Amino acid sequence: MSKRINEFRMPAEWEPQKSVWISWPHNKNDWPGMFEKIPNVVGKIIKYLANHQRIDLLVNTYKSMDEARKQLKRTGCKLSNIKFHKIKTDRLWLRDSGPIFLINKKTRKKIMLNFKFTAWSKYKNFRNDNKINYQIGKYLNIKSILPKKINSKKFEKIVMEGGAFDTNGSGSILLTKECLLSTKQERNKGFKKSDYESLFSKYLNTKNFIWLNKGIVGDDTHGHIDDIARFVSKTTIMIADENNKSDKNYKSLKENIKILRKSYDENGKKFKIIKIPMPSPIFIQKTRVPASYLNFFISNKTVLVPIFNVKEDKKVLRIFRRFFTKRKVIAVDCSDLIWGFGAIHCMTQQEPII
């Protein structure tokens, strides 16, 4: 399989999806003092997605399965589109702990990458999350690849999270230096830029690397790309923009835009850039949270956009609706969910159709 891995690719998020994998919330420590509000928010997100496509929902226990089913029924969710799986998790952020699916359209095969997960090299409780992919692979009965360090004499499983990169499905990938090249919250000790480019080239079939600098303030992942820049087509990128010079994100986000303007796609052409305003700073219990409109999710029929009850919400939704003319753009109030330092993209992982 290793010799033929380059025949596979990771489809872009807007390509046809078989399912969306989501985990039901249970870790009260992720939302101190606010957990009781979270199942309702997650329930609404699942409802919007399940209206049009399948949801594979992970639950920790049979009791939580019953609770989830009751909550989803109250929200008016289409339960016939939900498949429940009793798989233990530590957190609900499946974008980072869940599988990365690859497809080969010629052979009509699907495989998954099973990266090592270490809770962003920040938290100690990740034992259950690091086992999720084995169980999903077993359920789907598809081959699971354990990415390892290229040219290493001994087997070293690679640490990686789905929110650390974003691909257009055609050979280009967005990354940040802060997340992958910093010694703070270092995922793979000693890894250099060339190591990561070799990794993504081999396992994701990418050849064009766009390295932005930093993520946003308050992000406990230390610079995930899915809060600052996202592909919305093969040649179009939405990127976070801050115009308040006194804001802590101002300098780094302007630098990212400069880098992107000098970047090219895999065919040597300039990208179309759509600037997305940052929301006004949001503080919960005196802590600035990583609120960003870029943490949206593209499904088969919809685009779920996080909003935060701030003045920028309406303008941003207009930008999304102008671009996504063939999908319904749905605003989801994430002003409580973001207290867990993540939003819609962080909690979803798409499984493509072959």
159: which DSSP letter?
B
Residue 271 has a pLDDT of 98
CB proximity list for 240: less than 8 A, separation 6 or greater: 216, 227, 228, 229, 249, 253, 256, 275, 276, 278, 292, 293, 294
Residue 156 has a pLDDT of 80
Residue 154 has a pLDDT of 67
Backbone angles phi, psi at 100, to 5 degrees: -105, 115
Contact 5, 203 (CB under 8 A): yes
Closest CA to 337 of 96, 45, 41: 41
CATH architecture of 2-352: 5-stranded Propeller (3.75)
**Lookup result for tokens 């801050």:** 242
For the stretch 234-252, pLDDT in tens is 999 999 999 999 999 999 9
62-74 vs 38-50: helix crossing angle, rounded to 10: 70
pLDDT beneath 50, residues of the chain: 1, 3
Residue 327 has a pLDDT of 98
For the stretch 49-96, pLDDT in tens is 999 999 999 999 999 999 999 999 999 999 999 999 999 999 999 999
- Burial class (CB within 10 angstroms; exposed 0-12, middle 13-18, buried 19+) of 138: exposed
Residue 217 has a pLDDT of 97
